[in-house]
Every structure is written in C-alpha cells, then in structure tokens.
Amino acid sequence: MKIETRKQQIINAAATLFKEKGYSAVTMRDIAKSMGIKASSLYNHISSKQDILTTIIISLAEEFTNGMDVIKTSQIDSIEKLKQIISLHISITTSNTFGMSSLNSDWMHLEERLDYYLKLRDDYEENFRCIIINGIKNKEIIDVNPEVMLFSILSTLRSLYLWIPKKEDLKQEELVENLSQVLISGVQK
C-alpha cells in the first residue's frame, strides 16, 4: 500500500508548476519533465490535463465547504466563528500552498465542474456573510457594510497561499493568533 499514488505525485508536480506559471502556461511536457518521464506516460495515471486541474480544485473547495459546515452549526459566538474560519484557511493553506494557487487563479479553466465549483464558492461566501450579519445583530461586530467586511477578510485569507511559504519561521498557531488580532481588532492602537 503506497503512501502516495503515482496520480497524486503527478497532481503535486502539476500544482507546483501551476503556481509558478498558471494552468494555461504549463504544458503536459513541462509536468512530465519535472518528474523525469515523457508526457505520454502521464496518461497511464490521469485522463487529461483538465482532470488534473479539476482534482486539485474540487478537493480543496470541498475541504473548505466541510470546514464551514462545522463552523456554522457550532454553538459559539460570532467572533469565535470568525477565528475558526481564519484557522480553517491557515490550516488548509499550510498543507497545500500549491493547490491553493490553482483554486484562486485557475478556477475559470474548469469545464464540466465549473458550475459545481461556483456553487461551492457562492455557498461558502453566503455562510460567511451570514456569520457577519448575525454578529452585527448580536452587537458583537460593528455596524458597517457587511460586504466590505466579508470582502476584506476573505481577500486576506484567500491570499495566504502567496505568503505562508515565504514566512516558514512563523508557527501556525502564532499566525492564527496574530492574523485574528489584525483582522478582528484592526491595527490601530
């Protein structure tokens, strides 16, 4: 029983290249070369280039959906839910910075599964929005345009993949703490 299937190795190699140059600029020959084999050999393990991208993106999107499902139904206050969301993003991103690049930048190249992806993303955003709006109702969160808050926090969380690899010295829990403070309490003294 192998720890990592050949297919998974291909997907990891591909994700690494996708992060560097984007899905469209990476050729099957590039992926093969990075593994020391020929492009045609890839097709023993995957069915198409599309298949690679779809696998990368959908599996990550579903991780986020599952994480959000837990958070939204848990009995904690709104601010705590925000912290859990921050923690979810840091956790998923830390364990797959390359895949997160495709999720953020190459989703438009999904074909059959594009609609499914968009539904997952919309639902995720809607759940996030509800948490914020509930926080405003409860007087836990300031009464500012919730769209601005949603966008601001989510933009930072979605960009983590660009930044986490460059700051490997920063421990995960420490990052959760610091980022929660900045996103929730701001930067002003």
Residues that bind a copy of itself (CB under 8 A): 20-25, 79, 82, 105-106, 108-109, 132, 135, 139-142, 144-145, 147-149, 151-153, 155-156, 158-160, 162-163, 167, 170, 175, 178-179, 181-189
**148 contacts which partner out of DNA, a copy of itself, none, CB within 5 to 8 A by kind?**
a copy of itself
Distance CA 3, CA 1 (A): 7
Over its C-alpha atoms, the chain yields an Rg (Å, rounded) of 19
Least distance from DNA to the Cβ atom of residue 4, Å = 10
Q: Is 89 in the site for DNA (CB under 7 A)?
A: no
Least distance from a copy of itself to the Cβ atom of residue 84, Å = 15
Distance CA 123, CA 107 (A): 16
Burial class (CB in 10 A: 0-12, 13-18, 19+), 167: exposed
Quote the Cα angle for 141-171-173, to 5°. Answer: 40
- For residue 34, the surrounding DSSP H or E stretch is helix 28-35
Nearer Cβ to DNA, position 44 or 138? 44
Distance CA 55, CA 7 (A): 10
Find, among 39, 58, 64, the residue nearest to 49 by Cα: 39
Nearer Cβ to a copy of itself, position 61 or 183? 183
Nearer Cβ to a copy of itself, position 37 or 114? 114
Question: Given the rule CB under 7 A, which of 26-34, 109-117, 120-128, 150-158 is the region that contacts DNA?
Answer: 26-34
Q: CB under 8 Å to 159, separation ≥6 — which residues?
A: 104
Least distance from a copy of itself to the Cβ atom of residue 154, Å = 8
Q: Is 49 in the site for DNA (CB under 7 A)?
A: yes
The answer to whether 45 touches 6, Cβ cutoff 8 Å, is yes
Least distance from DNA to the Cβ atom of residue 48, Å = 3
Out of 8, 20, 44, 184, the residue judged to bind DNA by CB under 7 A:
44
Least distance from a copy of itself to the Cβ atom of residue 167, Å = 6
